[in-house]
Structure 1
Amino acid sequence: MRNEKGFIFPTTMVIVLFCLLIVAHISISLISEKQFYSETEQYYLLDNLMQLAVDQSLFEIKNGTAKINEVTKTNTINGTFTYLINEITPSIYEAQISCISTKNKQYTASYQYDLIKKEMIVWSEY
């Protein structure tokens, strides 16, 4: 035991460094997972806002109460959506929709609706 010459200190330092690396890895994994869940939540909130905006704009187009070339803005608990309805031809309308969540994530899309066929003929997201 007299010839150890400092064996305990380097061994302790290696074990401490190893434990710190494990703690760092676990904390990075948890932070990454939390960011993933936050992004996923925002995605579904924006998807819900987009569905509400599409339903409301389609309702106005089908009933003939759509405000042509006027921006309609609606606030909800999850965020805000705006849409602009344009008349391309007497039977085809185009709606441009923009949704913004409470955390300023944005989702924009547009569609064209044919009154004769009673269906969406074009859908694009950007």
Structure 2
Amino acid sequence: MNNEKGFVTPVTLILSLLLFSLLFYQVQQYTVEKRFLKEQEEILTMDALMQMGVVDIIDIIGAFDTPPQTLTGQLRYVKGNVHYVIAPGTEERLSVKLECVTNNGRKRNIEIFYDIISSDIIDWIET
């Protein structure tokens, strides 16, 4: 039997430490990617809520023969709610303020200016 003078134990410890470090790094990367994916999903949900809310509010405005005076309401969707306030701006313009809230509690406010004559959105401001 050869006397290796304690060579195996330090090498084993160093290799174990390297493998453990690699495993720890991979777990950290997985956690970061998982959080990033959840954040992206929430952003896409919020964008979808805003788009659906704007389309439905334009339909609500189009249902009136004359431009509505101040009108408030709430639109409920599967992934969240949209609270809106429609207020007259000028004779041919309406100001629509939206607050979009996802089921997870994330909020985003936007204000759009809608031209009644051309039935088009003039400006879109996110706050």
Question: Taking structure 2 as the reference length, what is the TM-score of the superposition?
Answer: 0.88
Q: Look up the match of 1:77.
A: 78
- 1:88-103 superposed matches below 5 A: 88-103=89-104
In the alignment, the residues of structure 2 paired with residue 7 and residue 63 of structure 1 have an alpha-carbon distance, to the nearest angstrom, of 85
**Structure 1: which 5+ residue stretches go unaligned?**
none
CA distance in 2, matches of 1:68, 1:96: 14
**Aligned counterparts of 2:38 and 2:68: Cα–Cα separation in 1:** 36
1:71 and 1:84 in contact (8 A); partners too: yes
1:6-47 CA-partner distances (Å, limit 9, x unpaired): 222211111111011110111111111111111111111111
Which residue of structure 2 lines up, in the alignment, with residue 52 of structure 1? 52
User: Which residue does 1:14 correspond to in 2?
Assistant: 14
Name the CA distance, whole Å, in 1 between partners of 2:85 and 2:96.
5
Q: What letter matches 2:73 in structure 1?
A: T
Is the 2:88–2:94 contact (alpha carbons within 8 Å) kept by the matching residues of 1? Answer: yes
Partner SS, residue 59 of structure 1? helix
Q: Conserved in 1, the CA contact under 8 Å of 2:68 and 2:88?
A: no
User: Structure 1 pair 53/68, CA: closer, same or farther in 2 (3 Å)?
Assistant: farther
After superposition, the CA RMSD in angstroms is 1.7
Shift, 1:67, TM fit? 5.9
Give the fraction of aligned pairs with identical amino acids, expressed as a percent. Answer: 23
Q: CA deviation at 1:117?
A: 2.5
Q: Which runs of 5+ in 2 are unaligned?
A: none
Which structure ranks higher in relative contact order (CA pairs < 8 Å, sequence separation ≥ 6)?
Answer: 1
Runs of 4+ in 1 over 6 A off after TM superposition: none
TM-score where L is the length of structure 1: 0.89
Please say if residues 61 and 93 of structure 1, whose CA atoms lie closer than 8 Å, have aligned partners that are also in contact: no
